[in-house]
């Protein structure tokens, strides 16, 4: 098994280990819960390899987690995509999910915008409007204008993204991480049909979130 830790997790793991060592030295019974928390921290920042499906018009899920209700909603205003409601598919990540996020399609990033905000529970619908977020807009290789948004949650207070406007991207490639517990919203134009349903468990870089047409999908590393 290829077990990788995301680089953003190294400082947090070091902090957990350091605090556990000091607490255990001060009072040995604390060593047991401390080790459990250290192991959880390592598990949280795991970064497994994924096999990404390929095919014309596919939108790949950018996050591990659970699909929230699929609704029509305007995309983030800072992306300047207009106020017309688009299909929004939201993925909620709990503290046990992989939190590394992945690019949903081949194409070019056209805008990236960070907006500070509140920290409501990420499973609440209002989190998409009021919470801290990092929004990205892209034109896919199939010509679709989509948005994907990293949203902080009740516990999550750190959003990291490597994206810049004008960047060419590939579906399934890692681009960021949110810690600890959060959500990712994907906004889709008409013509892209959701391939997931509310309550479904998704895998970043592998689950087909939506599709245009009936082209067959194949896997790539």
147-181 pLDDT tens trace: 999 998 876 567 889 999 999 999 999 999 987 76
Six token digits for residue 33: 């819960």
- 40 and 73 co-located in one domain: no
Give the integer Cα–Cα distance in Å for 204 and 53. 11
Average pLDDT, the chain: 90
The two structure tokens encoding residue 133: 């977020």
Any domain includes 219: no
Same domain, 23 and 100: no
Name the residues annotated as catalytic: 182
Residue 88 resides in a domain = yes
At 218, is the pLDDT very low, low, confident or very high (cuts 50, 70, 90)?
A: very low
* 21 in the same domain as 65: no
Residue 55 and residue 74: Cα distance in Å, rounded? 27
Q: Are 155 and 95 in contact (CB under 8 A)?
A: yes
Q: What is the DSSP letter of 58?
A: E
Question: Which residue carries 């049909």 as its tokens?
Answer: 193
* Number of neighbouring beta carbons within 10 Å of residue 115: 13
Residues 23 and 87 in one domain: no
Instruction: Please count the structural domains in the chain.
Output: 2
| Residue with token string 């895998």 | 203
Pair 74, 121 in one domain: yes
Q: Which residue has the higher pLDDT, 182 or 71?
A: 71
- Same-domain pairing of 162 and 59: yes
Residues in the chain: 221
Range of the structural domain that residue 82 is part of? 52-213
Arithmetic mean of pLDDT, 2-23: 86
Lowest mean pLDDT among 23-32, 107-116, 174-183, 212-221: 212-221
- 33 with 71, same domain: the answer is no
Q: What is the pLDDT of residue 216?
A: 44
Q: Evaluate whether residue 206 is within a structural domain.
A: yes
Same domain, 60 and 118: yes
Of 155, 206, 152, 201, the residue nearest 178 (C-alpha): 152
Same structural domain, 40 and 62:
no
134 and 30 in one domain? no
Say if 218 falls within a structural domain: no
Asked whether residue 14 is domain-assigned, the answer is: yes
pLDDT band at 11 (very low <50, low <70, confident <90, very high): confident
> 86 with 189: CB under 8 angstroms?
yes
Q: Are residues 104 and 184 in the same domain?
A: yes
Same domain, 40 and 95: no
Q: pLDDT digit string (tens) for 93-149?
A: 988 898 899 999 999 999 999 999 887 878 888 888 888 999 999 999 999 999 999
């Amino acid at each position: 098994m290829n077990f990788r830790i995301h680089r953003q997790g190294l400082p947090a793991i070091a902090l957990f280990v350091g605090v556990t060592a000091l607490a255990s030295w001060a009072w040995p019974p604390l060593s047991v819960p401390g080790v459990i928390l250290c192991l959880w921290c390592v598990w949280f920042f795991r970064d497994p390899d994924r096999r990404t499906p390929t095919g014309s018009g596919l939108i790949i899920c950018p996050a591990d987690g659970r699909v929230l209700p699929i609704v029509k909603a305007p995309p983030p205003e800072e992306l300047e995509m207009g106020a017309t409601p688009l299909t929004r598919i939201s993925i909620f990540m709990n503290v046990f999910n992989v939190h590394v996020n992945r690019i949903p399609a081949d194409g070019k990033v056209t805008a990236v915008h960070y907006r500070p905000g509140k920290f409501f529970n990420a499973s609440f619908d209002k989190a998409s409007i009021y919470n801290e977020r990092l929004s990205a807009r892209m034109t896919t290789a199939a010509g679709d204008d989509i948005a994907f948004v990293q949203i902080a949650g009740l516990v999550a207070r750190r959003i990291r993204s490597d994206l810049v406007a004008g960047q060419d991207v590939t579906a399934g490639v890692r681009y960021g991480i949110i810690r600890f517990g959060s959500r990712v919203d994907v906004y889709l134009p008409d013509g892209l049909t959701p391939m997931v349903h509310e309550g479904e468990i998704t895998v970043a870089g592998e689950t087909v979130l939506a599709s245009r047409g009936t082209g067959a999908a194949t896997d790539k590393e």
